[in-house]
């Protein structure tokens, strides 16, 4: 079984009455991947992860972890797998250490011997004797990672690990994920933040309204996506006119005194020359990070909805 | 230690860390004390309940009389308080998914919870009995007990009868606990389960006193709270005791089986 893929789902479907939360998802996570599961809130990420962890039953299709189906093999399918969905939850009336001691007793083999080590990894050792009820959101999140690491996992499933953290907490969490990835743990993490996935992951699946709209290397996707640029120029109107005459420069608009357009790199280079020749002084020409929404636009041929926009904006 | 034993131990630890456990245990322990204090301050007494007439003869009579009064809603409520909460609280706090994503099967987790709820149920009954005997003996001494047949039994023998009575009394209470656990699993709502289990107990009591229910009255859960009377007869009347065992077994096993099946298959998702 060791040769089996860490994660493989086929035609995974979850329906709640008329609502289809996950609609035929096929995912493949390979050993060593840091796999980003990207999508706006409500797209079906958490529901997919719940099915992987055996917490909910798929309406149809199958989910396998290292070749084992949690629906068929129960908790044994989680051998070598750890993680959390929708934020880790603990017994608030027990200390952090007690919580871990309890979870260690729920592990096979018993993972008690690793408690101090994992507390060290997530830098919670000083607070381990305190009740979890007094922990900050970030500390709970870190305790969640510690609880997962107790199991010496070969695969970590993390649902929005940075959500709700302050900027420093987010940075620490990403740093932690990077370190774990260096330790040869395969990681699948969900996120609604494109830049986070860009920063951490080598491969991604993008889910939207329960369906996978892209799966593969993120870099290829980004390269294929036309990027937005902003020009600050002394005379935006004239700059706009020049932009309009350039091939490969599209969606030109002047907003708040800056010119926005989308183009590939080659066209941008040509544009900069054209602007110079037209004697239009520019103070800035900057690429804008593609948003999740723009990726969707690229992937779905312009079909979009207010729902996505709201989700991405939030 | 087996997996279930480990889970059971942690379930007990969780109960010991929660206020409602002490609330229930405290209530079970305080009732006999209140009883004794009130009877010390008043003349007269609960003459129309089994052993009520002899309550000032010996401390041994106190727990028997309290058993009667607490069977209506006192013990059912105290039992439901924990049994109705034991699955629902974990769902509400999101900790169910935490423990179900380790190495233990759902069936093992369920078994640990059932054992913990059963242990709590047993402890509240025996705690009441112990406190009742001690408080009653301080007030009136530890003397021979008058049986329901009117004969005297020695204090030592009376104590043994009390322990047997407490044990058989635990069975119908376990039936209520099992029903509470079923509600807890199905509704995933602690308050609804506690109230629902209490309503179930009251319904059983109500059916037992309505006219026209005589034919099935012996098989109602509420009736089994009187099974201990059999021990207090001379010679002992085993019929109500034996009936309580098998009737309660049904009241325990049916809801537990249903709860088990639901727990095994249930989607563990957010609220």
Per-domain residue ranges for chain A? 7-222, 226-289
- Rg of chain B over CA atoms, in angstroms? 20
Contact B103 A84 (CB under 8 A): no
Burial A98-136 (b: 16+ CB within 10 A, else e): bbbbbbbbbbeeebeebbeebbebbebbebbeebbeebe
What is the number of alpha carbons within 13 Å of residue A153 lying toward its C-beta?
31
Residue A53 contacts B where some CB pair is shorter than 8 Å: yes
Residue A293 structure tokens? 């929404």
Contact B126, B164 (CB under 8 A): no
* A56 contact residues in B (CB cutoff 8 A): 267-269
Q: Which pLDDT score, from 0 to 100, does residue A193 have?
A: 86
Cβ within 8 Å of B, A 111-150: 147
Q: Which pLDDT score, from 0 to 100, does residue A307 have?
A: 44
Backbone angles phi, psi at A228, to 5 degrees: -85, 145
Q: Dihedral sign, CA of A81, A82, A87, A91?
A: positive
Contact A148, A156 (CB under 8 A): yes
pLDDT > 90 in chain B, percent: 89
Q: 3-class SS at B11?
A: helix
- Chain B contact probe: residue of A15, A21, A105 with most B CBs at under 10 A: A105
Q: CA A66 to CA A75: how far, in whole Å?
A: 13
Q: What is the DSSP letter of B141?
A: -
Q: CA B36 to CA B63: how far, in whole Å?
A: 10
Q: Which pLDDT score, from 0 to 100, does residue B112 have?
A: 97
Q: Which pLDDT score, from 0 to 100, does residue A224 have?
A: 66
For the stretch A97-130, pLDDT in tens is 999 999 999 998 888 999 999 999 999 999 999 9
The reply to whether A226-289 shares the fold of A7-222 is: no
Q: Which pLDDT score, from 0 to 100, does residue A1 have?
A: 44
What is the number of alpha carbons within 13 Å of residue B157 lying toward its C-beta?
13
Minimal Cβ distance to A93: which of B7, B18, B269: B18
B43 confidence band (pLDDT: 50, 70, 90)? confident
Residue B220 structure tokens? 């109602």
ipTM: 0.89
Residue B123 structure tokens? 């402890």
Backbone angles phi, psi at B69, to 5 degrees: -70, -35
Exposed, middle or buried: residue B246 (CB in 10 Å: 0-12, 13-18, 19+)? exposed
Minimal Cβ distance to B101: which of A53, A76, A94: A53
CATH fold of the domain at A7-222 = Rossmann fold (3.40.50)
Q: CA B219 to CA B208: how far, in whole Å?
A: 9
Residue B214 structure tokens? 């005589």
Minimal Cβ distance to A108: which of B93, B101, B103: B103
How far lies A166's CA from each of A136, A137, A162, A163, in Å?
Answer: 11, 9, 9, 9
Contact A70, A85 (CB under 8 A): no
Listed residue (A151, A96, A136, A137) closest to A119, CA to CA: A96
Contact B163, B179 (CB under 8 A): no
Output the pTM of the full model.
0.87
Listed residue (B13, B39, B12, B60) closest to B232, CA to CA: B60
Is pLDDT at B67 greater than 90 in this prediction? yes
Q: Which residues of chain A have pLDDT under 50?
A: 1-2, 303-314
Q: What is the DSSP letter of B235?
A: S
pLDDT > 70 in chain B, percent: 99
Q: CA B128 to CA B138: how far, in whole Å?
A: 15
Contact A108 B97 (CB under 8 A): no
B265 confidence band (pLDDT: 50, 70, 90)? very high
Listed residue (A65, A47, A66, A92) closest to B18, CA to CA: A92
Q: Which pLDDT score, from 0 to 100, does residue A127 have?
A: 95
Instruction: Give the residues across from A65 on adjacent strands.
Output: A7, A68
Q: Dihedral sign, CA of A276, A282, A269, A253?
A: negative
Q: CA A71 to CA A53: how far, in whole Å?
A: 9
* A21 contact residues in B (CB cutoff 8 A): none
Q: 3-class SS at B28?
A: helix
Listed residue (A96, A168, A158, A80) closest to A132, CA to CA: A96
How far lies A78's CA from each of A114, A225, A232, B209, in Å?
Answer: 18, 37, 54, 53
Cβ within 8 Å of B, A 213-272: none
The class that CATH gives domain A226-289 is alpha beta
Q: Which pLDDT score, from 0 to 100, does residue A194 have?
A: 84
> What mean pLDDT comes out for the span B48-58?
89
* Full DSSP string of B143-162: --EE-TTS-EE-HHHHHHHH
Three-state secondary structure string covering chain A = CCCCCCEEEEEEEEEECCEEEEEEEEEEECCCCEEEEECCCCCCHHHHHHHHCCCCCCCEEEEEECCECHHHHHHHHHCCEEEECCCCCCCCCCEHHHHHHHHHHCCCCCCHHHHHHHHHHCCCHHHCCCEHHHCCHHHHHHHHHHHHHHCCCCEEEEECCCCCCCHHHHHHHHHHHHHHHHCCCEEEEEECCHHHHHHHCCEEEEEECCEEEEEEEHHHHHHHCCEEEEEEECCHHHHHHHHHHCCCCEEEEEECCEEEEEECHHHHHHHHHHHHHCCCCEEEEEEECCCHHHHHHHHHCCCCCHHHHHHHHC
Contact A50 B3 (CB under 8 A): no
Greater pLDDT, B47 or A36: A36
* A102 contact residues in B (CB cutoff 8 A): 10, 13, 99
């Amino acid at each position: 079984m060791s040769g089996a893929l860490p994660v493989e789902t086929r035609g995974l479907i979850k329906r709640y009455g008329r609502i289809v939360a996950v609609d035929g998802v096929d995912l493949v996570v390979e050993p060593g991947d840091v796999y980003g599961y990207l999508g706006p809130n409500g797209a079906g990420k958490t529901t997919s992860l719940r099915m992987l962890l055996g917490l909910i039953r798929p309406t149809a299709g199958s989910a396998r972890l290292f070749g084992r189906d949690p629906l068929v093999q129960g908790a044994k399918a989680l051998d070598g797998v750890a993680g959390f969905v929708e934020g880790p939850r603990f017994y608030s009336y027990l200390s952090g250490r007690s919580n871990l001691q309890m979870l260690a007793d729920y592990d096979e083999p018993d993972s008690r011997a690793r408690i101090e080590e994992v507390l060290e990894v997530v830098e919670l050792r000083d607070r381990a004797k305190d009740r979890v009820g007094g922990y900050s959101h970030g500390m709970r999140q870190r305790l969640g990672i510690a609880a997962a690491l107790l199991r010496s996992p070969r695969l970590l499933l993390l649902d929005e690990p940075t959500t709700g953290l302050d900027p420093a907490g987010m940075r620490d969490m990403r740093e932690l994920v990077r370190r774990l990835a260096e330790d040869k743990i395969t990681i699948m993490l969900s996120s609604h933040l494109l830049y986070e996935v860009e920063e951490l992951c080598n491969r991604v699946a993008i889910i939207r309204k329960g369906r996978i709209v892209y799966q593969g290397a993120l870099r290829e996707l980004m390269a294929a996506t036309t990027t937005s640029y902003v020009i600050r120029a002394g005379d935006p109107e004239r700059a706009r006119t020049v932009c309009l005459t350039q091939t490969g420069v599209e969606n030109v608009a002047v907003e708040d005194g800056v010119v926005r357009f989308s183009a590939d790199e080659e066209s941008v280079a040509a544009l900069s020359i054209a602007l110079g020749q037209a004697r239009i002084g520019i103070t800035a020409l900057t690429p804008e990070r593609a948003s999740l929404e723009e990726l969707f636009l690229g992937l779905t041929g312009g079909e979009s909805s207010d729902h996505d926009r709201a989700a991405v904006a939030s | 230690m087996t997996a279930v034993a480990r889970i059971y131990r942690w379930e007990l630890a969780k109960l010991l860390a929660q206020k409602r456990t002490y609330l229930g245990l405290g209530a079970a322990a305080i009732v006999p004390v209140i009883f004794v204090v009130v009877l010390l301050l008043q003349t007269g007494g609960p003459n129309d309940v089994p052993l009520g007439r002899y309550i000032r003869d010996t401390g041994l009579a106190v727990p028997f009389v309290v058993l009667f009064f607490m069977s209506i809603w006192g013990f059912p409520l105290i039992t439901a308080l924990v049994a109705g909460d034991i699955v629902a609280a974990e769902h509400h706090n999101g900790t169910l998914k935490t423990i179900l994503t380790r190495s233990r099967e759902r069936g093992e987790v369920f078994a640990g919870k059932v054992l913990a709820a059963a242990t709590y149920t047993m402890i509240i009954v025996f705690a009441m009995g112990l406190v009742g005997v001690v408080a009653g003996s301080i007030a009136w001494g530890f003397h021979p007990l008058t049986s329901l047949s009117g004969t005297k039994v020695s204090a030592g023998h009376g104590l043994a009868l009390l322990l047997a009575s407490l044990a058989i009394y635990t069975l119908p209470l376990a039936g209520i606990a099992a029903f509470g656990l079923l509600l807890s699993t199905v509704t995933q709502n602690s308050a609804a389960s506690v109230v629902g289990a209490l309503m179930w107990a009251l319904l059983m009591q109500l059916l037992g006193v309505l006219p026209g229910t005589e034919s099935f009255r012996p098989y109602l859960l509420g009736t089994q709270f009187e099974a201990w009377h059999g021990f207090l007869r001379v010679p002992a009347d085993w019929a109500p005791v034996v009936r309580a065992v098998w009737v309660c077994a049904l009241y325990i096993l049916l809801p537990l089986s249903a709860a088990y099946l639901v727990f095994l298959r249930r989607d563990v998702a957010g609220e």
